[in-house]
Amino acid sequence: MSYDRLTHPLVRENGVLRRATWEEALERAAEGFRRNLAAHGPDCFAMLSCARSTNEMNYVGQKFTRVVIGTNNVDSCNRTCHAPSVAGLSAVFGSGGGTSSYQEVEDTDVIVMWGSAARNAHPIFFQHVLKGIHNGARMFAVDPRRTGTAQWADLWLGLNVGTDIPLAHAVAREIIHAGLHNEAFIERATIGFEEFKESVEPWTLTVAEQVTGVPAHAIRELAHAYARADRAQLCWTLGITEHHNATDNVRALINLSLLTGHVGRYGSGLSPLRGQNNVQGGGDMGAIPNRLPGFQDILDPGIRARFESAWGREIQPRYGLNLTQMLEAMADGEVTTCYLIGENPVQSEADSLACIKRLSMLDHLVVQDIFLTKTAQMADVVLPASAAWCEADGTFTNSERRVQRVRKALDPPGEARDDIWIMCELARRLGHDWHYDGAEEVWNELRAMSPQHHGMTYERLADLQGIQWPCPSEDSLEPPYLHGRLWESDPVRRGVPAPFAVLRHSPPVDLLDEEYPLRLTTGRRLDSYNTGVQSSGFASPLRRGETVELCPEDADRLGVVAGEEVRITSRRGSVVAPVFIDPALRPGLVFMTMHFPDEVDTNSLTIEATCPIAGTAEFKAAAVRVEKLVKAG
Amino acid sequence: MDLRFRDAEPSDEERAAVDALLGPPASAWDGGGRTEADLRVAARAESQRDMLLPALHAVNDRVGWISEGALDYICRRLTVPPAEAYGVATFYSLFSMEPRPKRVLHVCTDLACQAKGGEDVRRRVEERLGPPGTSWHESPCLGLCERAPAALALEAGTPPKAQVYAPANASLTLDSPTPNGTTPSLDVAGDAPVAAAVPQAGQDGLTLLRRVGTTDPASLDDYRAAGGYSALRRAFELGPAGVIREVLESGLVGRGGAAFPTGRKWDATARQPDHPHYLVCNADESEPGTFKDRVIMEGDPYALVEAMTIAAYATGCAKGYLYIRGEYPRATARLQHAIATARARGLLGDDILGKGLSFDIELRRGAGAYICGEETAIFNSIEGQRGEPRSKPPFPVEKGLFGKPTVVNNVETLVNVLPILERGARAYTAAEPKLFCVSGAVERPGVYELTFGTTLRELLDMTGTTGTTKAVLLGGAAGAFVTDLDIPLTFEGTRNAGATLGSGVVLVIDDTVDMKRLLLRIAEFFRDESCGQCVPCRVGTVRQEEALHRLSRRVSPSLPRRDDDPDLVLLREVGQTMRDASICGLGQTAWNAVESAIDRLGVFK
Tens of pLDDT, residue by residue over A286-311, are: 999 999 999 899 999 999 999 999 99
Q: List chain A residues with CB under 8 Å of B44.
A: 151-155
Q: Is B43 on the interface with A (CB under 8 A)?
A: yes
Do B162 and B188 contact (CB within 8 A), yes or no? yes
Q: How far apart, in Å, do the first and last CA atoms of chain A sit?
A: 32
Q: List chain A residues with CB under 8 Å of B28.
A: 583
Measuring CA to CA, which residue among A359, A367, A324, A343 is closest to residue A87?
A324
Contact A552 B34 (CB under 8 A): yes
The pLDDT value recorded for residue A616 is 78
**CA pair distance B506, B438, nearest whole angstrom:** 5
pLDDT tier, A275 (very low <50, low <70, confident <90, very high otherwise): confident
Q: List chain B residues with CB under 8 Å of A141.
A: none
Q: Is residue B481's pLDDT more than 80? A: yes
Distance in Å, alpha carbon of A584 to nearest chain B alpha carbon: 8
Do B92 and B57 contact (CB within 8 A), yes or no? no
**CA pair distance B466, B484, nearest whole angstrom:** 17
Contact B44 A153 (CB under 8 A): yes
Distance in Å, alpha carbon of A541 to nearest chain B alpha carbon: 13
Sheet with B480-482: list strands edge to edge. B446-451, B433-440, B505-510, B469-474, B480-482
Contact B41 A157 (CB under 8 A): yes
Contact A158 B29 (CB under 8 A): no
CB neighbour class for B124 (10 Å; exposed up to 12, middle 13-18, buried from 19): middle
Contact B44 A152 (CB under 8 A): yes
The pLDDT value recorded for residue A2 is 58
Candidates B41, B46, B72, B75: best to mutate against A (most CBs of A within 10 A) is B41
Distance in Å, alpha carbon of A360 to nearest chain B alpha carbon: 44
**CA pair distance A324, A354, nearest whole angstrom:** 12
Q: Which residues fall within 8 angstroms of residue A90, CB to CB, at 6 or more apart?
A: A96, A295
What pTM value is reported for the model? 0.86
Q: Is A188 on the interface with B (CB under 8 A)?
A: no
Nearest CA in chain B to A145: B39
Q: List chain B residues with CB under 8 Å of A156.
A: 41-43
Q: List chain B residues with CB under 8 Å of A551.
A: 39
Q: Is B39 on the interface with A (CB under 8 A)?
A: yes
Do B455 and B486 contact (CB within 8 A), yes or no? yes
Which of A151, A158, A583 minimises the CB distance to B41?
A: A158
Q: Are strands B136-139 and B103-108 parallel, antiparallel or unpaired?
A: parallel
* Average pLDDT value for chain A: 92
> What mean pLDDT comes out for the span A306-328?
93
Do A417 and A14 contact (CB within 8 A), yes or no? no
**CA pair distance B305, B316, nearest whole angstrom:** 16
Q: Is residue B144's pLDDT more than 70? A: yes
Residue A140, beta-bridge partner list: A112, A155
> What mean pLDDT comes out for the span A31-39?
96
> How far, rounded to the nearest angstrom, does the alpha carbon of residue A129 sit from its chain's CA centroid?
20
The pLDDT value recorded for residue A78 is 67
Contact B40 A119 (CB under 8 A): no
Q: Is residue B310's pLDDT more than 60? A: yes
> What mean pLDDT comes out for the span A507-527?
92
Q: Is residue B472's pLDDT more than 80? A: yes
Angle CA(B511)–CA(B512)–CA(B513) in degrees, nearest 5?
90
Candidates B4, B30, B39, B80: best to mutate against A (most CBs of A within 10 A) is B39
Nearest CA in chain B to A587: B39
DSSP, res B117: T
Contact A214 B41 (CB under 8 A): yes
CB neighbour class for A395 (10 Å; exposed up to 12, middle 13-18, buried from 19): buried
Q: Is residue A1's pLDDT more than 50? A: no
pLDDT tier, B16 (very low <50, low <70, confident <90, very high otherwise): very high
**CA pair distance A483, A257, nearest whole angstrom:** 12
Q: List chain A residues with CB under 8 Å of B43.
A: 154-156
Work out the number of other CB atoms within 10 angstroms of the CB of residue A410: 10
Candidates B34, B40, B46, B72: best to mutate against A (most CBs of A within 10 A) is B40
Residue B327: left (phi > 0), alpha (psi -120 to 50), or beta? alpha
Q: Which residues fall within 8 angstroms of residue B313, CB to CB, at 6 or more apart?
A: B232, B235, B236, B240, B243, B357, B359
Do A38 and A50 contact (CB within 8 A), yes or no? no
The pLDDT value recorded for residue A436 is 93
Q: List chain A residues with CB under 8 Å of B40.
A: 157-158, 213-215, 218, 586
Q: Is residue A632's pLDDT more than 80? A: no
pLDDT in tens, B336-346: 999 999 999 99
Nearest CA in chain B to A154: B44
Between the alpha carbon of residue B69 and those of residues B61, B88, B156, the distances in Å are: 16, 16, 18
Do A237 and A273 contact (CB within 8 A), yes or no? yes
**CA pair distance A619, B271, nearest whole angstrom:** 60
> How far, rounded to the nearest angstrom, does the alpha carbon of residue A206 sit from its chain's CA centroid?
34
Identity of the amino acid at A581: I
Do A347 and A96 contact (CB within 8 A), yes or no? no
Is residue B358 classed as helix, strand or coil in its secondary structure? Answer: strand
Which of A151, A156, A551 minimises the CB distance to B41?
A: A156
Is the ipTM reported for this complex over the cut 0.85?
no
Q: Is A146 on the interface with B (CB under 8 A)?
A: yes
Q: Are strands B469-474 and B480-482 parallel, antiparallel or unpaired?
A: antiparallel
pLDDT in tens, A63-112: 999 999 999 999 987 666 678 888 899 899 988 888 999 999 999 999 99
> How far, rounded to the nearest angstrom, does the alpha carbon of residue A531 sit from its chain's CA centroid?
14
Q: Is residue B362's pLDDT more than 90? A: yes
Q: Is B46 on the interface with A (CB under 8 A)?
A: no
Q: Is B28 on the interface with A (CB under 8 A)?
A: yes
Which of B2, B40, B44 minimises the CB distance to A213?
A: B40
Nearest CA in chain A to B33: A583
Q: For the ranges A290-294, B236-240, B279-283, which has the lowest average pLDDT? A: A290-294
Q: What percent of chain B has pLDDT over 90?
A: 84
The pLDDT value recorded for residue A485 is 94
* Average pLDDT value for chain B: 93
B 2-21 near A (Cβ less than 8 A): 2-3
Work out the number of other CB atoms within 10 angstroms of the CB of residue A133: 19
Candidates A111, A119, A156: best to mutate against B (most CBs of B within 10 A) is A156
Contact A553 B34 (CB under 8 A): yes
Contact B41 A215 (CB under 8 A): yes
Distance in Å, alpha carbon of B276 to nearest chain A alpha carbon: 18
The pLDDT value recorded for residue A608 is 81
The pLDDT value recorded for residue B171 is 59
**CA pair distance A562, A564, nearest whole angstrom:** 6
Task: Please report which residue ranges of A515-586 form alpha helices under DSSP H.
Answer: 552-558
Which of A152, A158, A553 minimises the CB distance to B40?
A: A158
Nearest CA in chain A to B34: A583
Contact A152 B40 (CB under 8 A): no
> What mean pLDDT comes out for the span A102-124?
94
Do A590 and A548 contact (CB within 8 A), yes or no? yes
pLDDT in tens, A406-442: 999 999 999 999 999 999 999 999 999 999 999 999 9
Between the alpha carbon of residue A295 and those of residues A57, A273, A285, A287, B563, the distances in Å are: 16, 18, 7, 9, 84
DSSP, res B590: T
Contact A586 B40 (CB under 8 A): yes
The pLDDT value recorded for residue B133 is 86
Which of B1, B28, B29 minimises the CB distance to A152?
A: B1
Q: Is the dihedral of CA A308, A312, A316, A321 positive or negative?
A: negative
pLDDT in tens, B107-129: 999 999 988 888 889 998 998 88
Q: For the ranges B74-78, B113-117, B331-335, which has the lowest average pLDDT? A: B113-117
The pLDDT value recorded for residue B174 is 56
Q: Which residues fall within 8 angstroms of residue A11, CB to CB, at 6 or more apart?
A: A17, A18, A20, A24, A25, A28, A380, A381, A382
Instruction: Please count the residue pairs, one from chain A and one from chain B, whose beta carbons lie less than 8 angstroms apart.
Output: 48
DSSP, res B561: P
Between the alpha carbon of residue B44 and those of residues A37, A63, A329, the distances in Å are: 59, 50, 49
pLDDT tier, B553 (very low <50, low <70, confident <90, very high otherwise): confident
Task: Calculate Rg over the CA atoms of chain B.
Answer: 24
Nearest CA in chain B to A209: B40
CB neighbour class for A306 (10 Å; exposed up to 12, middle 13-18, buried from 19): middle
> What mean pLDDT comes out for the span B479-489?
94
Q: Is residue A328's pLDDT more than 50? A: yes
pLDDT tier, A160 (very low <50, low <70, confident <90, very high otherwise): very high
> What mean pLDDT comes out for the span B173-190?
65
Is residue B264 classed as helix, strand or coil in its secondary structure? Answer: helix
> What mean pLDDT comes out for the span B212-228?
95
The pLDDT value recorded for residue A95 is 82
**CA pair distance A527, A504, nearest whole angstrom:** 37
Q: What percent of chain A has pLDDT over 70?
A: 98
The pLDDT value recorded for residue B173 is 56
Q: Is B44 on the interface with A (CB under 8 A)?
A: yes
Candidates A580, A586, A589, A591: best to mutate against B (most CBs of B within 10 A) is A586
Distance in Å, alpha carbon of A143 to nearest chain B alpha carbon: 10
Q: For the ranges A199-203, A507-511, A600-604, B132-136, which has the lowest average pLDDT? A: A600-604
Angle CA(A411)–CA(A413)–CA(A416) in degrees, nearest 5?
95
Contact A583 B34 (CB under 8 A): yes
Do A451 and A470 contact (CB within 8 A), yes or no? yes
pLDDT tier, B257 (very low <50, low <70, confident <90, very high otherwise): confident
Long-range contacts of A12-16 (CB under 8 A, 24+ apart): A12/A379, A12/A380, A12/A381
CA neighbours closer than 13 Å in the CB half-sphere of residue A263: 28
The pLDDT value recorded for residue B560 is 62
Distance in Å, alpha carbon of B331 to nearest chain A alpha carbon: 40
Q: List chain B residues with CB under 8 Å of A154.
A: 43-44
Between the alpha carbon of residue B34 and those of residues A547, B3, B40, the distances in Å are: 23, 18, 11
Q: Which residues fall within 8 angstroms of residue B496, CB to CB, at 6 or more apart?
A: none
Q: Is residue A630's pLDDT more than 90? A: no
Nearest CA in chain A to B44: A154
